[in-house]
Amino acid sequence: MSYQLTSSFLGFFIAGIILWLIRRDLLHSRHAIWWLVVAISIVLLGIFPTVVDWLATHLGVHYPPTLIFILGMGFILIKVITIDLHQSDLESKVRRLAQRLAILEAEKNNK
């Protein structure tokens, strides 16, 4: 029972931080959805850690913790690549804005 208590406590703690960040408007609502899902999964896994064992046996994974690591790393990879995509999009927008600004400024100066 005691390890389940620890994992639920950890789950609630992490979820609490995420919810607090969302409430303080430090996270854009678009990212908030992702992090809410993460918070909920952490709480559920914290309360019912045996879900992993159950899932692992049904997926044919002999050592359940690997499943958690693989899934976790997979989701982190997805998240990181979305950040880079978003970042590239922003870079392109900032560049085009700077270019537009330069053209507008030239118009103003040469009048």
Partner 1 sequence: MIPAKNEVNTIGQIVSEIKELFPITVVVIDDGSNDDTAIVALNAGAIVLPMTFSLGAWGAVQTGLRYAEQYGFKIAITMDADGQHKVDSIPTLLEKFEDKQSDVVIGSYIERGSPSRHLAWSFFRKLSGINLEDLTSGLRAYNHKAIELLSSKAASLLDYQDLGVLLLLHRAKLRIVETPIFISPRINGHSRIFSSWWAVSRYMLYTSILCLAHFKLFK
Contact residues for partner 1 (CB under 8 A)?
88, 91-92, 95-96, 98-103, 105-106, 109-110
How many CB atoms are closer than 10 A to CB 39? 21
What does R_g of the chain's alpha carbons equal in angstroms?
22
- H-helix segments, 28-109: 29-47, 50-59, 64-109
**Cβ 22 vs Cβ 59: under 8 Å:** no
- Residue 26 or 90: the one with the smaller Cβ distance to partner 1 is 90
Cβ-based nearer residue to partner 1, 53 or 89: 89
Backbone dihedral angles phi then psi of residue 50, each to the nearest 5 degrees:
-70, -15
Work out how close the CB of 91 gets to partner 1 at its nearest, in angstroms, rounded to a whole number.
7
Minimum Å distance from CB 98 to partner 1?
Answer: 5
**Rounded least distance, CB 85 to partner 1, Å:** 12
Tell the smallest beta-carbon distance from residue 82 to partner 1 (Å).
Answer: 17
Give the nearer residue to partner 1 in terms of CB position, either 50 or 99: 99
| Contact present, 5 and 48 (Cβ < 8 Å) | no
Whichever of 24 and 111 has its CB closer to partner 1, that residue is 111
